[in-house]
Every structure is written in C-alpha cells, then in structure tokens.
Amino acid sequence: MNVLVVGGAGYIGSHMVRQLHAAGHRVTVLDNLSTGFPEAVTAGNLVVGDMADQELVKSVLTENSIDAVMHFAACALVGESVASPAKYYRNNVLATIELLDAMRAVEVKRIVFSSSCATYGIPDVVPISEATPQNPVNPYGFTKLVIERALEDYAKAYGFGFAALRYFNAAGASPLGGIGEDHDPESHLIPLVLQVALGQRKHISIFGTDWPTPDSTCVRDYIHVDDLSSAHLAAVERIELGKGLKVNLGTGNGFSVKQIIETCREVTGHEIPAIESDRRPGDPPELVADASLAKEVLGWEPKYLTPKPIIETAWKWHQSNPTGYAKTDTGPPASTKYLVEAYLSKKQTAVPKQSEITR
C-alpha cells in the first residue's frame, strides 16, 4: 500500500512510519514540523507542509498514488486545550476537514484517525468499552469527537472508509532506538519521571493523593507506541469503503501514578524523589480500556502488557537522547533533506500560494 502519514514526524507518527516501512508499505510523510522533528522520519519521503493546504495535500496524494491516509497531526495537551481552545478547534477540527476535503477531491477515501479516550470524559464505569457514552470534558476531547462524527458523515455521504482508534496513554519508544518521545513542554508522566532519573528535574509531582483508587493516585492504561502502530496496520488493511470502525486501543490493565514511579525507580536504579501535589484540573481518576473489540475486529494483541517493559524502552531512548532530538542529532539524513528541498522548490513554481487559492 502507498500510505500518507500526516504528522509522521511526531512521537506516535514516527513509530508508525518505521513499522509501515518494515511491513513493506511505501510511506510518504506530511508534517508541518510544528512539534515534529525531521530526524524522527526514518523511512519514506518527508514533505514539509500543512494538512490545511488543500492544494499541497491533493498534489501529494496524487503524485504518490496514495491508497490510505493515517492522521496523527493534532494538538494533544488537555490543559492547553482549556486555555487556548481556538488553537484546538483550528488545528484539530478545521485543518482536519481541509485534509478530508483534499482526500475527497482526489478520491482517496481510506483514513485511520487518531482518536482518544478523552472522548469519554469521566466515565461512570471502568473498564471503558466503545459503548460507553462519549461526554468529553475538555476542548481536546471535543475536537476528537467532532472528527469521529465528521468521519461517520463522510462515510455515509461520500463513501469514505475509516478507523477511529481511541488511544489510552501512549508510552515507550522503539526498542530499535533512534526515535522516542520529545515534547516541549513535556507534560506526560513517564518522560517527566525519567527526566528526574536523569537529574534534569529535582522531583516528580504526584497530582492528587486523594483519588478514589486503590492507592489514592490516578490510574491509567499505558500502551506502547509500537502496539498502537501495529493496531493501525491491522486497521488500515480492514477498512471498508462506506463503513467505519471505532475501537479502543489499550492493554486493559490499569496502573497508578505511584506504581509508575516505583517501576521507573526499578528500571533506572535511581531514587526519583516524588512530592505530593494538588490534583490537576480535568484529570479523571481512572481510565482503563476494555480492549476486547480491538482484539476481535482487528485480530490484534498488544505485546507490552505491563509498564516495566514499556518504561525500559523509554529509558533507553532518554538515556541515549537526554535532550531529545533537537540538541543531539545531526539533522535529517541527506536523502530526506534533499526531498524536502526538492519538493519545496517544485511547490514554489507549481502550486499557488494559500492566499491565491480560490475555494
């Protein structure tokens, strides 16, 4: 298959690119590099551009004979979405509709969409199945739900086929090395704890020690990025035009903040000071997937079922790249760089600027 990975220079997208390539698919990446890194793209062609640029997307889709799109390009910080909802509705909703309409214009109608457990809000019952009502409690979760609904409507009206994969907590790094998690600012638990182990932070704050959970700290379902990627591979092969799949991607196992910190101590051999802090606004106490539907419809099994092997891969990445991509890598491989430059120079002459496009 020829697959366009939108957001393929980001954390999850870059792991997807590696896995698609290894499975024999031909990969093209479209990324505006707002949060991604060219160094993270280890296979295929990288086109630097925005998914909201319909003319660019149409030319990338046709020139590369794309069969299916995987869409990872989203802003994904819950707190930021509350403070800056416009950014989230623009990037996650408006730009995605532009992407879908560019696909529609050139008859590419298969898409795998990164949705989220944030679409469920604060569920009454855990584990969370796909039948759990979707009542997001923050703008991030709403933007993901809006696109799920848009995809259903695009399937009915325009014959799109889609898979909306509702991720729980993505974690870990490729055991092959070279790619991993690098966010600025970092807000996720595991990389923050590992930064304490590296001596880059003094302590980790535990957000809330009065939750209605077994050890009074929040419980999450941590899923390895390579397991997320293998579910995408299974999903893209099963997409049927006119239909949609909506499935949870988690392990079905929940672990508390304290258990994660303890596992990081075990993996790294460092003390990792932790201090108790107030609850973080908007955090649900417990998010654990009922992942049985994904196993049934995708024939998929996660390989990493507990945090320890996941954290081992993350620790390997953080040790080898203590400052992430930006300060340790020498830049994209020459061939990738060439493609970016060649594409951009071609685009300058062949494609009208965004402001010149008449809609």
Is 258:215 a contact under the CB 8 Å cutoff? yes
Of residues 61 and 117, the one with the C-beta less far from ligand UFG: 117
Decide: is 80 part of the binding site for ligand UFG (CB under 6 A): no
Report the residue from 204, 228, 234, 314 that binds ligand UFG according to the rule CB under 6 A.
204
Q: Given 140, 167, 325, 343, which residue is catalytic? A: 140
Where does this chain touch ligand UFG (CB under 6 A) — which range of 107-115, 200-208, 288-296, 313-321?
200-208
Q: What SS3 state is found at 35?
A: coil
Residues 6+ positions from 51 with CB-CB distance below 8 Å: 6, 30, 32, 57, 71, 73, 95, 96, 98, 99, 102
x/- letters, 254..273, toward ligand UFG (CB under 6 A)? ---x----------------
Contact pattern from residue 307 through residue 336 relative to ligand UFG, giving x for each residue in contact according to CB under 6 A and a dash for the rest: ------------------------------
Determine the interface stretch with ligand UFG among 182-190, 300-308, 314-322, 327-335 (rule: CB under 6 A): 182-190
Q: How far apart are the first and last CA of the chain?
A: 31
**Cα gap 253→269, rounded to integer Å:** 24
Of 348, 325, 349, 357, residue with least CA distance to 48: 348
Stretch that binds ligand UFG, among 50-58, 99-107, 198-206, 332-340 (CB under 6 A): 198-206
Name residues contacting ligand UFG, limited to 6-65 (CB under 6 A). Answer: none
Tell the smallest beta-carbon distance from residue 165 to ligand UFG (Å): 13
Q: Is 248 in the site for ligand UFG (CB under 6 A)?
A: no
The helix or strand, by DSSP H or E, that contains position 223, with its residue range, turns out to be strand 222-224
Cβ(276)–Cβ(243) below 8 Å:
no
Number of residues this chain uses to bind ligand UFG (CB under 6 A): 21
187 binds ligand UFG (CB under 6 A): yes
H-only helix segments in the chain: 11-22, 54-63, 78-83, 85-88, 95-105, 139-158, 189-197, 225-238, 257-268, 292-298, 307-320, 324-328, 334-350
Which position among 30, 57, 164, 192 is part of the footprint of ligand UFG (CB under 6 A)?
Answer: 192
Residue 11 annotated to the active site: no
Q: What positions carry a catalytic annotation?
A: 140
